Amino acid sequence: MEQILNYISIGGSFALAISGSLKAMGKKFDPFGILIIAFVTPVGGGTLRDILLTEKSVFWLKETPYIYFIIAGTIMALIFRKRLTYFHNTLMFFDAVGLALYTITGVQIGIDNDLSFINCIILGTLTGAFGGVVRDILVNEVPVIFHKEIYATVSIVGGIFYWALARFNVSNPFLQIAPILFIIAARILITYYKLAFPSIYGKK
Amino acid sequence: MEQILNYISIGGSFALAISGSLKAMGKKFDPFGILIIAFVTPVGGGTLRDILLTEKSVFWLKETPYIYFIIAGTIMALIFRKRLTYFHNTLMFFDAVGLALYTITGVQIGIDNDLSFINCIILGTLTGAFGGVVRDILVNEVPVIFHKEIYATVSIVGGIFYWALARFNVSNPFLQIAPILFIIAARILITYYKLAFPSIYGKK
Amino acid sequence: MEQILNYISIGGSFALAISGSLKAMGKKFDPFGILIIAFVTPVGGGTLRDILLTEKSVFWLKETPYIYFIIAGTIMALIFRKRLTYFHNTLMFFDAVGLALYTITGVQIGIDNDLSFINCIILGTLTGAFGGVVRDILVNEVPVIFHKEIYATVSIVGGIFYWALARFNVSNPFLQIAPILFIIAARILITYYKLAFPSIYGKK
């Protein structure tokens, strides 16, 4: 089970690298800049998490496969850049998968470190959703998850769900599969129906 | 004494969370984005300090009260957002209190780690003044303390004052109270009289 | 040899602090803001490297000379700011020296930590080229090495060169001098002839 999720997680970095590459190409970055944005989109959140914990070196310094999949994703994006719109739905799906897997990984690491409930959720959301924040800072935009999309909220709710199951000793595979499916489904439905919170600022 | 300062410090995070929330609402962030900006404004500086030291995990992963006070401050700001201008002076006061307490905390941590004089002052200024830098990067603005306000300088001078007292074995409560009052007073006077350094760029 | 390189490296921070100061003055920063940009330009990359490794505290918390040379460079830049264009070539030369020395330092630290080939190159490029990225984020610009200059690529190629020599047990002084000279020469030629990669985006 762990093994399978690990493979999916590494595979997810491939899809997120493609989506990061597209963002960087939209900003007319050169190949090096594209590679950096492709890199931080999948692993930026987990990097922040590891830095805050200071338990050990950042994960991708030891788990090299992530890096190779990211480089492969970037090369794919560079080659097929004019035809990537055909894969829009596929990318959206993997983006949701990444959000789900990275969120529960982060919450589990919080549990492993005996952190309080709220800090477990924070680590989950950091891991799941803050790669995009690092990406947006590097391309000099206001991070999109702060003002536009219901993205982090899905990670928070899914993280609470996973934490509660773990707390009540629900065992695998249900422990992991239920919140993963919840996050994927919620994220896809929100994107598909273009759902948004009612604005707190009133109408323009 | 330590205990009292610790309570004030946690309480200060409540006020700084309100001031961060106001900034984020000015940028039309959604509630999640507001919460993040409310979070980094008080604890961003100490987070940078802990990351650079890599002695242990970032402080708020173990000291959860900060997080609850920040969430409370954010909720307050969301509810009373149209009436917060009435509390302008109160917020300004707590901002100065935060600058003072966080600065001497940072300098003391430098002393505890046997760092050189200049690195103690750097840690003090990071802790006291760089929450605002993290906040400004996240809202995609040039950090205000780099070009507009006499803010970091107060932290530097106050930090040197505290370091000198500690060096000459001045004991508590004078050791902590004198630099704290100095920083609070200096910061409030500078804000009140709108003092600024003479520009090094000449007149426009 | 180590000793000599260490002195050059500290000296290089002086020149990079001047170049950072010029950037900050172009943005009308106040003296504190100028000092911060002068600081992150030389040491920002190595700081990121040390944070990701979490082996020990960030290097400049223990190696204070860097800080004094940076402060000296900033004061120089403030005093001679109207005449610094005369030193344009000198600054460019030291920028290339910094890129070279910091790159091989980073690769060597990767080797010392038994990291994989690709992570050694990543640490080298981070150390050599990402001070400029931190600087650009703080002045709220898109990092220049992501879209304009052949800078990081020189660091990558030079880092691979050094890694290969180290791998085949080439000994000093050739081990260090060859890649250092390569990076300096490549960077200077690229700047002088204004070389650029062909754009992947076609003509405007």
Cβ within 8 Å, pair B119-C61: yes
Number of separate domains in chain B = 1
A-proximal residues of B, 78-107, CB under 8 Å: 78
pLDDT value at residue A36: 95
Pull the structure tokens for residue B28. Answer: 């039309």
CB B125 within 8 A of CB B156: yes
**B193 inside 8 A of chain C by CB:** no
Residue B171 belongs to some domain of the structure: yes
Range with top average pLDDT, A187-201, B161-175, C109-123: C109-123
Distance of CA C139 to the CA centre of its chain: 17
User: In whole angstroms, how far apart are CA B174 and each of B4, B154, B160, B181, C147?
Assistant: 14, 19, 15, 10, 54
Question: How remote is the C-alpha of B148 from its chain's centroid?
Answer: 16
What is the Cα–Cα distance from B138 to B24, expressed in whole angstroms? 10
* C1 pLDDT more than 70: no
Judged by CB atoms closer than 8 Å, whether chains meet at C139 and B140 is answered as no
Nearest to B58 among A52, A140, A153 (CB): A52
What is the CA angle A110-A112-A115, rounded to 5? 45
Does C202 reside within a domain? no
CB distance C31–B200 less than 8 Å?
yes
The upper half-sphere exposure of residue B204, i.e. CA atoms within 13 Å in the direction of its Cβ, equals 1
Question: What residue ranges of chain B have pLDDT lower than 70?
Answer: 1-2, 203-204
Burial of B67 (0-12, 13-18, 19+ CB in 10 A): buried
Residue C84 lies in a domain: yes
Chain B residue with CA closest to A141: the answer is B140
Token pair listed for B97: 């209190």
Say how far apart CA A71 and CA A85 lie, in whole Å: 20
Q: Which residue of B30, B54, B64 is in closest CB contact with A147?
A: B30
pLDDT of residue B147: 86
Closest CB to A29 among C55, C118, C147 = C147
Contact by Cβ (8 Å): B9, B104: no
User: Bigger pLDDT: A162 or A90?
Assistant: A162
Nearest by CB to A58, from C52, C143, C146: name it: C52
- Within a domain: residue B199? no
Answer whether residue A204 shows pLDDT above 60: no
pLDDT at residue A150, rounded to an integer: 83
Nearest C-alpha neighbor of A114 from the set B61, B43, B53, B66: B61
Output the average pLDDT for chain C: 89
Q: C140–B142: do the CB atoms touch at under 8 Å?
A: yes
Contact list, C52 vs chain A (CB under 8 Å) = 47, 51, 57-58, 61
Is the CB of C137 less than 8 angstroms away from the CB of B142? no
Structure tokens at C161: 């060169």
Which of residues C192 and B84 earns the better pLDDT score?
A: C192
Other beta carbons within 10 Å of A75: 17
Which residue in B13, B4, B192, B161 sits closest to B99, CA to CA? B13
Give the pLDDT of residue B116: 94
**In A, which residues are within 8 Å of B36 by CB distance?**
146
List the single residue in C with minimal CA-CA distance to A57: C53
Instruction: Tell me the nearest-neighbour CA distance from B73 into chain A, angstroms.
Output: 16
A197 is a domain residue: no
Does residue C119 sit at the A interface (CB-CB below 8 Å)? yes
Residue B203, in any domain of the structure: no
Global confidence as pTM: 0.92
Q: What is the ipTM of this complex?
A: 0.90
Residue A203 pLDDT grade (very low, low, confident, very high; cuts 50, 70, 90): low
Which residues from B are below 8 Å from C138, CB to CB? 133, 137, 143, 146
Q: For residue C199, what are the CA distances in angstroms to A83, C6, C122, C148?
A: 19, 38, 24, 10
Gap between the Cα atoms of C48 and C54, Å rounded: 10
Establish if A199 belongs to a structural domain.
no
Q: What is the dihedral of CA C34, C35, C37, C42, to 10 degrees?
A: 140
How far does CA B161 lie from the centroid of its chain? 17
Q: Are C29 and B147 inside 8 Å of each other by CB?
A: yes
**Residue C200 located in a structural domain:** no
pLDDT digits (tens, 9 = 90+) for C132-161: 999 999 999 999 888 877 889 999 999 999
Its domain, for residue C170, covers: 2-192
CB < 8 Å to C37, chain B:
146
What's the gap in Å between the CA of B52 and the closest CA on chain C?
A: 5
Torsion angle defined by CA atoms of residues C137, C92, C73 and B48, in that order, rounded to the nearest 10 degrees: 20
Residue type, A181: L
Record: contact B116-C64, CB cut-off 8 A: yes
Any chains having at least 3 CB pairs less than 8 A from chain A are: B, C
